[in-house]
């Protein structure tokens, strides 16, 4: 099918590059010939917004999270991304973060993030934060988000970054969170890639408040890895994970997804456009 208009990409990495430690930075930059362009967009929200418009991407969720030990990001990444988003809030929405072990007052920080900075969603990264998503230390974070109808995105699946604890990427951990916070919107980034797809499918099928987001999975393999994806219907969201290793640009993955014959055109349109608009429209984003 033809690429539709108004695509929303939930998972794009726009982060304060100068905070990234050397080892993970080398992992990101290895093998990329467009590092200069990436850096340009990290520093120029207007230029990036225009770039997205040119690619036919109506809105993009900009990923930030706090991981002082592994990645280098501290809580100031929230201020940074709020400012970036504010340049073009029609185009961008901001995922921010918190690490309970590196925060003196979690409820107060949540007020700052959600009520002062107006962060649109909170990203949890268990392998990079070395904490399970079901750790009770995250519960005040979930409570604050649930209360305000702000979504949570959780990295599910492995990570190749130095020091990452991949075991903590098991999507089944979110079964507990979804039970304890039935009104919290939970987005499972990467659908448990590369060997927890069944767990991710189960959790999304079981809980109405849990969504699957497809970033970081080569789209041509989706029908093989997630043959029953269409059953999840309006719980599936689009994302690329640009500029992660293996993701060339934001549009070529869309093209590959549109070319898949295994899923119906109607479903593909919902994933790229309708589900995301519904998701964002019904929340505070
Ligand atoms: Zn990512």
The structural domains of the chain, with segments of one domain joined by +, span 7-281
Mean pLDDT of 75-79: 98
Mean pLDDT of the chain: 95
Gap from CA of 104 to ligand 1 centroid (Å)? 26
pTM given for the model: 0.96
Q: How many residues does the chain have?
A: 285
User: How far apart are the CA of 245 and the centre of ligand 1, in A?
Assistant: 10
Dist. CA 85–CA 32, nearest whole Å: 25
Q: Which two tokens stand for residue 13?
A: 């990495």
Instruction: Give the distance (Å) from ligand 1 centre to CA of residue 12.
Output: 7
Could you report the per-residue pLDDT of 243-278, keeping only the tens digit for each?
987 788 899 999 999 999 999 999 999 999 999 999
What pLDDT is stored for residue 284 in this prediction? 46
Question: How far apart are the CA of 62 and the centre of ligand 1, in A?
Answer: 10
pLDDT digits (tens, 9 = 90+) for 23-44: 888 888 887 888 999 999 999 9
Distance 243 CA to ligand 1 centre (A): 9
Write out pLDDT tens, residues 205-221: 999 999 999 999 999 99
Residue 234's pLDDT band (cuts 50, 70, 90): very high
CA of 242 to the centre of ligand 1 (A): 8
Q: Using the mean position of ligand 1's atoms as its centre, give its distance from the Cα of residue 207 in Å.
A: 23
The hierarchical CATH code for the domain 7-281 is 3.20.20.140
Burial 171-195 (b: 16+ CB within 10 A, else e): bebbbebbeebeebbbbbbbbbbee
- C-alpha 234/C-alpha 114 separation (Å) is 26
Rounded CA-CA distance 229/197 in Å is: 10
Residue 283, pLDDT > 80, answer no
Q: Determine the distance separating the centroid of ligand 1 and the alpha carbon of 244, expressed in angstroms.
A: 7
List, as ranges, residues with CB under 5 A of the ion ligand 1.
241
69 Cα to the center of ligand 1, angstroms: 17
Residue 54 CA to ligand 1 center (angstroms) comes to 22
Report the range of poorest mean pLDDT among 135-144, 154-163, 257-266, 274-283.
274-283
User: What are the distances in angstroms from CA 113 to CA 72, 144, 148, 225, 267?
Assistant: 19, 10, 12, 36, 34
Phi and psi angles of residue 70, each rounded to the nearest 5 degrees, phi first: -85, -50
Element at 124 (helix H, strand E): strand 121-124
Where does the chain have alpha helices with state H? 22-29, 35-43, 45-55, 76-87, 106-111, 126-129, 139-148, 173-180, 197-206, 222-225, 252-258, 265-269, 275-281
């Amino acid at each position: 099918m033809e690429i539709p208009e108004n695509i929303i990409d939930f998972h794009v990495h726009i982060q304060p590059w100068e905070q990234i430690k050397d080892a993970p930075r080398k992992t990101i930059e290895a093998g990329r010939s467009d590092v200069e362009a990436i850096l340009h967009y990290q520093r120029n929200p207007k230029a990036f917004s225009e770039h997205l418009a040119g690619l036919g991407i109506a809105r993009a969720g900009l990923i930030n999270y706090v991981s002082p030990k592994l990645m280098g990001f501290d809580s100031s990444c929230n201020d940074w991304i709020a400012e970036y988003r504010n340049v073009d809030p029609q185009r961008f929405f901001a995922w921010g973060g918190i690490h309970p072990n590196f925060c003196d007052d979690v409820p107060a920080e949540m007020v700052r993030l959600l009520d002062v900075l107006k962060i649109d969603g909170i990203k949890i990264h268990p392998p990079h934060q070395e904490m399970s998503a079901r750790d009770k230390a995250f519960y005040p974070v979930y409570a604050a988000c649930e209360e305000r109808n702000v979504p949570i995105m959780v990295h599910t699946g492995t990570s190749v970054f130095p020091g990452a604890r991949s075991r903590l990427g098991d999507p089944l951990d979110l079964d507990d969170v979804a039970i304890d916070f039935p009104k919290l919107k939970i987005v499972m980034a990467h659908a448990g890639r590369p060997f927890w797809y069944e767990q991710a499918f189960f959790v999304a099928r079981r809980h109405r408040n849990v969504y699957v987001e497809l970033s970081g999975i080569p789209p041509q393999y989706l029908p093989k890895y997630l043959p029953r994806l269409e059953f999840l219907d309006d719980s599936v969201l689009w994302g690329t994970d640009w500029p992660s290793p293996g993701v060339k640009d934001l549009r070529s993955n869309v093209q590959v997804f549109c070319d898949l014959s295994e899923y119906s055109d109607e479903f593909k349109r919902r994933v790229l456009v309708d589900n995301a608009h519904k998701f964002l429209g019904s929340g505070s984003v």
